[in-house]
Amino acid sequence: MKTIFFSFLFFISQIALAQSGTTGTGSVLVGATTRTYTYYLPLNFDPACSYPLLIAYHGSGGTGNSMKNSTDFESIADAERFVIAYPNGTCSGNQWNTNCVACANDDIAFTQQLRTKFNTDFNIDLNRVYLAGHSNGGFFINYLASQNSTGIAARAVVAGNLCGYWNPVLTAGIPYLHIHAINDPVVQYYDDELLFWWGAGAFLGGGPPSPFPPAPRGVVFPGASRCSRRRN
């Protein structure tokens, strides 16, 4: 009976594995430095199709794999049909090169290399490259957009800020979602004056800065933003 039970569990596990996409690792050369990443191809990936790409940047001390394991992006990728890259930051403490954390690594060039590599290897759509970042990874994608917004379809940040730098010309027209707890003890909500003390009037050049109020508890983003769910 025990043998039958464990055989059944093995059979179920094989079905589960068969119903997941493909995970792998890769590297690109940025200058003289080899940079690495983990990737995920959605279930039933078809190389003849052109998929969107999500690049997900981990926080300080993390890795591409830790970002992969702490999110549920892959089940969404299976449902919505997109490819994911989880790059590895290599500044001190596994961080990204931003206006707040400076190092010799050119992480902007790394991102551009990833776009090219994934287009070559997996036929991703260069007009649908999306960025997501947590903490220091969020710092980086904000910094990246302020320096070179080429090919960024949209970006989303959790618990990151602008590091005191913003370029409204380069970032104009790029959809942006920022999620931040007002009681965050590490990256404090009210510390980044460019983001949180910049009201709509100041953003449009029509008045002095005013605080962005926090969202009401339990708010549902699509309804609050008037976004609609759309499949491409």
- DSSP line for 8-35: HHHHHHHHHHHTS-EEEEEEEEETTEEE
DSSP string, 182-213: TT-SSS-TTS-HHHHT--HHHHTTSS---PPP
Per-residue pLDDT tens, the chain, 232 aa: give them: 445 433 434 443 444 444 789 999 999 999 999 999 999 999 999 999 999 999 999 999 999 999 999 999 999 999 999 999 999 999 999 999 987 777 889 999 999 999 999 999 999 999 999 999 999 999 999 889 888 888 899 999 998 877 766 676 677 788 888 888 777 888 876 665 445 444 444 444 444 445 555 666 555 544 444 444 444 4
Tell me the C-alpha distance between 138 and 157, whole Å: 5
Query: What value does the CA radius of gyration of the chain take, rounded to a whole number of Å?
Result: 20
pTM (2 d.p.): 0.79
Nearest Cα neighbor of 57 from 31, 25, 96, 83 is 96
Query: How far is Cα of residue 69 from the mean position of the Cα atoms in its chain?
Result: 14
